[in-house]
Structure 1
Amino acid sequence: FNFKVASRVAGRTPFEFIGSNVVRALPSDFAPPPSNLTVQATSASGIQLRWDQGTAGPVRYKVEYREVTGGSSDAFGFPQDVEILAGGGLSTFITGLDGQKTYDFRVFSGSFRGYETAGSNILSGAQPVGVPQDLSVRGVNRDSATIDWLPPSQGQVPRSYRIQYVLADLITEIADVQHLGGNLATQSALVTPLQQASHTIRVFSRAQGGFYQPLGTLPVIVAPLIVPTGMRVTSIGPHHISLAWDISPEVLTAPAFLVPSAYRIDFEQRATRAKNTTMELSPDTSSVTIAHLETNTEYEFVLKAKSQSGTFQSGLGQNPV
């Protein structure tokens, strides 16, 4: 059955037309317990839960949780009702949690007669923890890459991080990558070995109690490349700077996925951090002149190579000029 509530002003007819939201439910005296209760996402002070439900239709759900301290758990409490929407609502976000505490959760189905006594599986040891920020690739070579990221913008600094990189169906994970300390510190890690084609990389925070948040950063794409080396300034004029670099002879015999398809120069003013980039340069180009620069102004230049997948990446360990 589908249910909704409509109202009218006292002494007048008819009822207003639109009515409330629609709730779909079965007139059953029994609603089977939910299953597969898991953490779907976390924040610095909240946890999003997700669960599965059987064929019968509960009217609503009740989420209970408890704090875990010193290896012992309090009694379940803090009930929060979750009304299901038309078609079923099988998740909720629990807020106001402490990032230094660990929590257990379970969910109960509710029929017209109340909540069932048999709940879902107990989800143990979950912790609120923020998501790492600003994941980027600092540099690559033919078999490794260095990536950078920032700690979560709010809440506790994570105990450590987990790096995940994926090639097709092959998932590789590096656990317990230590942070450098401080909310403003850039975290770094070396990802190796890279294999053919592009890898999708994400970073996950680990809470102080050991719980890894499941969502992670937005992914970045990394591809192994034979990148140029030795970028240097060859001439300077009132409004231009000329640069040159060395292309490895390996590109003549290496597999195609390791050979850059183009280059470009990214540059910015040191004082204002105003960013610019050149047009794409052919893969056999080893020098460029950048014009229309401001006299007596410091600039920073980074050479980037384009992989066969279309991503531009700088060389591993190559400092900007």
Structure 2
Amino acid sequence: MISLRQSISAELATPVNPQINEFAEHIAQQYLGAAMAVLFYGSCLRSEKLEGEMLDFYVIVSNYDDAYEKPWMAKWNRRIPPNVFPYNFNGLAAKVAILSMDDFANLCKPEADNISVWARFSQPVRLVWRINEDTEQAIANAVASAVPTLLNAALAHSDREVGLLDLWESGFALTYGAELRAESKSRPGDVIKFDPERYIQIGKAGLYHCRIAAEIRGDKVHIVGDNRFRVEQELSRWPALRRRGKWLTILRLGKAAFTYAGGIDYLAWKINRHAGTNITIRPWQRKWPFIAAIFLLPKLLAKGAVK
């Protein structure tokens, strides 16, 4: 069987639409001296639809101080990572998150104090620009640790026997529940349906690296041996992960009011798209996006637009 590390390396290197590579190089040029890699992920990777969509990139930088001219930008990226910015290039639009290599690696590990990075990078991702081969290896190592982090969490919340795709779906449901997200209940299953074979192959390889011992028997995953301590250890983390994840969502939205031009419009677009709402942003809300977000959040919670 192909190892997890080999599978992740192959996935990262899978070619994408050349427009994506060109966009990634353009973004990297904005962080010369700091940019190490650009990763492409999310719904546009799965659907391969680019026009009229919001693409998702992560820029991995050597350190925050070298990435910004303004010290306060580096400070807030360090305190509440990542910073997120809008970019446009050759008719395409994207939101771009900035993380240091150290933060990226640490936030993919099981010890991470929030789920936002490993939840995203246990899904398909492409390395669409990198400064050198050493960086490519470091990115592959980090992404490879995200997969067992998610699977281990799902194992702790599952029966001793579970289907592999059901395990993935359970893991994604956990992560969506640990953030304020405008997603339907079917979203975790829909993510997997784009490429179930990918989740089977990488899932089988990833199980060997989980703290909770499990193995494949036929078409089922079986938890093996006495894993009570490891299961309880994982379960005990989740109340804090959920609380922290929701508070971080709010803090990041507040921070984006100062760093993300047009962020309030993007937020409304995202929620309307995923939750079926019809939120319209008024001129005063664009002028005062932080205050608008404070007033908007209770209404969204009451309507179930974010959970």
Q: TM-score, normalised by structure 2?
A: 0.24
Structure number with greater Rg is: 1
Task: Kindly indicate whether structure 1 or structure 2 has the higher relative contact order, using CA contacts under 8 Å at least 6 residues apart.
Answer: 2
Q: Comparing both structures, which one devotes a greater share of its residues to helix?
A: 2
- Could you say which structure has the higher strand fraction? 1
Give the TM-score of the pair, scaled to structure 1: 0.23
